[in-house]
Structure 1
Amino acid sequence: MSETTATEQVRRRPRDRRQAIEAAAAVLFAERGYHRVAMQDVADRVGITAAALYRHFENKYDLFREVALGLVAGLDAATADVPSMTDPSPVAAREALDALLDAIAGASIGMRATGGIYRWESRYLHPDDRRAVRDAFAALRARIAEPARVLRPELDGATSDLAALAALSAIASVTTHRTAIPVAPLRTLVDDAAARVLARVALGAPGPGEEPDAPALPRRRKDQLTQAGIALFAERGYHEVRLEDIASAVGLTPSGVYRHFGGKADILLTACARASAALDAAAEEALGCDEPRQALGILEDAYIRFAVEDRDLMDVYFADVGALEAEDQRRLRRVQRAHVDDWVELLLRVRPELEPREARCLVHAGFNVVADLAVALRHSPTPVARAWIAPVLEAVLGV
């Protein structure tokens, strides 16, 4: 047998090279965000040259698109073996629903390190690709809504779709945090949370109200710039917004911005500080309350109010922290973790049978559901949206 030469070994490409590239890129995009990943970073992670990477993908967006659509395909594949409902009985519906939720939970946990791409980075997909992802999730919600309506025939189509969205969001929350918990109990925890949502969601989806008035423009220029920056960051993502865009939104030249901020990052930092101050104020009030259920209710109400009334700020606070300088980022991450700790402490007082890590997972699930429903109900009157979301959050937490 002739000995394989080193040159032949180098020229040989593994059959799964493309899959290895996509897997490495998915982790990097989830960890750092789309804009902070270079093709060379992916090549280094896989252990190949950048030139070899470009043989598989034309550019970074091409790779990002394949990763995003590939994750959707993973959810579709996980539920492919769950048969469609042919028997409209409640027993068959319960079996189908349980199987669907469990399959989705298993797949979501399997992509825990990468699934966060959908939460924040999907803003950077081109419109056609974003629509493909949206359509895929709509089809998944429809599969969940079908057995849910058999079990709760009083639900109309719009309400069952919202309920399915909330159930999916509770499961998808596993991709938004890194709480150390074994797979089996985590899977059961989010399965049960999703099932509670579907069982307890209120009747009647909130309809659209009158178009809300645009928020009043603050009088101070610094506040105007902050408000404009928040709106633009939430719409496009921090890296897609130029300082010129923010200046133009308030009728200033870029040089005028520098009288108030050192740059775009300072505007983001100011926005994040505003968000953390609002959440801290609610936590301080809640922790000063002696009755645990009432205290948790204070946190719930404040968080829902924040999500519904200041949705752009909430998006920016959680999506764009990674764009800050390392020290600012670490400081804000500590603040965010402290806020979660406050929720966990109060939830454990209300549900002492939970383990701390279980409570932490449920808190993150609640955050995720509130954020997603705030987007889905953005055209509903604010009081109606808040009232509709509140029992869903309580269902997720199990209180």
Structure 2
Amino acid sequence: MSASGFPASGVPHLDVDPFAMDFFADPYPAHEQLREAGPVVYLDKWSVYGVARYAEVHAVLNDPATFCSSRGVGLSDFKRETPWRPPSLILEADPPAHTRTRAVLSKVLSPTVMKGLRDRFAAAAEARVHVLLEKRSFDAITDLAEAYPLSIFPDVLGLKPEGRENLIPYASLVFNAFGPPNQLRQDAIARSAPHQAYVTAQCQRDNLTAGGIGACIHAHVDEGAISATEAPLLVRSLLSAGLDTTVNGIGAAVYCLARFPEQWRRLRGDLTLARNAFEEAVRFESPVQTFFRTTTREVELSGATIGEGEKVLMFLAAANRDPRRWDQPDSYNITRRTSGHVGYGSGIHMCVGQLVARLEGETMLSALARRVASIEITGEPRRRFNNTLRGLDSLPVTITPA
């Protein structure tokens, strides 16, 4: 707000609630309205600025000194209220603190590490497809999009077998908590105690198996790169970042390929397109829909002056379908050049789990394309509503073997 307590003049006010159930059910008309109203808008419902065009979303993501994360990437301003849990050292931190902790995660999740894990992920994908081919009809969310990452990622991280049913609810809780104090957020936090207790315990050094990624994070304590209190919080970052993006990304990809059979045929004809088919699904469906930043100073953005201490809501999903940036943005095309999409964010806070998500997405889609001739949706898909994530709760499908 300006000093007078009103948003800067010239910024269009919109009566859009991006955290309402009808918005979640079909966000696309509102995304267009947000983009077309102007480069910067003001959402009266929550007293926040919004950016929905690609250029402005990209600019905000790539200027962390002006648009900070340490005051929370949800609606809550950590300078004015207490966070619901200890803040993330990755998502809710700014340089130089962020730079130091991020470097540790970049090492344990490096491309070299991912290359070494590739065969394990591919074998797990093959095993899952084998099970699904025996079933023929199944739920593509629970039996595929959730079951596959849960069958491999917790092992790679070094989690004990018991209690893993807490992982998906925990990730969903974290992303609901970025929203306003609506029913979704209140219900998620009210139910959170067992999930939080499980995750807190799992992140401790003694509970992680030797040789896993979690143990590698703790090993950086011995080198002095991070403290003993920071290590469990970094493991915690992977528990949410490594699962939700992947589950919703794989769910989105299967949903797209089932709805666009010509793209499925194209993938079956060229398995090297598997990675791009996953990336295009992340652009097209945007599993992570929104994130907030907070201004550290008065700033001018595309002609709009935004005061210090203002929340700015970035509509990543709207940016990913902005016709100013993409040709035919509302079509799913697995040969599209997807580089530059903001489905994982952009800049220093780009999703830390993206390499894991890409590896899992690519190995699963290529395993499916090798062995499955067609995917048919055989029941009504059901959405899973969340303040930040967009994904399905249920997607009944029938597959035919190749």
The structure carrying a bigger strand percent of its residues is 2
- Point out the structure with max Rg over C-alpha: 1
TM-score, length-scaled by structure 2: 0.32
- Looking at both structures, which has the greater relative contact order when contacts are Cα pairs under 8 Å and sequence separation is at least 6? 2
TM-score, length-scaled by structure 1: 0.32
The structure carrying a bigger helix percent of its residues is 1
